[in-house]
Amino acid sequence: MKSNDLIPFICYGAGGHAAVVESAIIQGGEYYMVGVADDNIAQGTRLIHAEVLGGKDELAKFLNNGIFKMHVAVGNNCTRHKIIDEMKKMGFEIITIKHPSAIVEVKAEINSGCFLSTQSVVGARAKIGHGCIVNTSAVVEHDCVLGDCVHICPGAHLAGDVEVGEMTMVGTGAAVIPGITIGKNCTIGAGAVVIKDVKSNATVVGNPGRVV
């Protein structure tokens, strides 16, 4: 697809996760990143090709030039949730970015503002909330439900019928057995194996997983 056939958008966030997002769109898709906004990283800093054009005070220029689409590429769940709300109030449409190798199976539902990374899988009839990250090689199996701004980290696997509350992070390489419910604002540590339900605001580590 020629670059002039692609849909322009602005990215908010210029950290490592944003570079992964830009890499995904470079490798194929319908969007083109025209620039990056970040209040904490210097103007002119490059991700891969796109560069930081300023902070939030620069964003009105994009709206005035007819660029209404935005992706918030921030790894921290709480921060991403806050910025998505701010950008919506400014008038931006928050878009989902999908790496061309990501798999979304039949009747899965992906809401706005999500990022599906390299070789990630969203299973049949799964429901992914707004602003979620399903990171590299992560698996969200059939009939799972993710609340808003959940992060399923690289290599983490959710078996079928798992429910994860909003702003929870499931760490790298973690595994969750079928039918488990994990509450809001939880942290599931890297490599943890979750074999029983987890209440909100908990941190779980180890195999088998235990609350600490």
- Write the pLDDT tens digit of every residue in 7-45: 999 999 999 999 999 999 999 878 999 999 999 999 999
E strand or H helix that includes residue 84: helix 77-90
What the block records as the tokens of 56 is: 């939030």
Supply 178's token pair.
């079928």
Model confidence pLDDT, tens digit, residues 89-142:
999 999 999 999 999 999 999 999 999 999 999 999 999 999 999 999 999 999
Q: Among 97, 31, 83, which residue's Cα sits nearest to residue 55?
A: 83
In the annotation, is 142 catalytic? yes
Name the active-site residue from 17, 71, 99, 142.
142
Nearest-CA neighbor of 157 among 144, 140, 142, 171?
140
pLDDT bin (cut points 50, 70, 90) of residue 1 is very low
Both ends of the chain: CA-CA distance in Å?
Answer: 50
Report all structural domains of the chain as residue ranges with CATH numbers, in order of start.
Answer: 3-95 (3.40.50.20), 96-200 (2.160.10.10)
Q: What is the per-residue pLDDT for 29?
A: 76
- Distance between CA atoms of residues 61 and 83, nearest Å: 18
User: Whole-angstrom Cα distance, residue 24 to residue 119?
Assistant: 11
pLDDT of 4 higher than 90? no
Instruction: Decide: 174 and 189 in contact? Cβ < 8 Å.
Output: yes
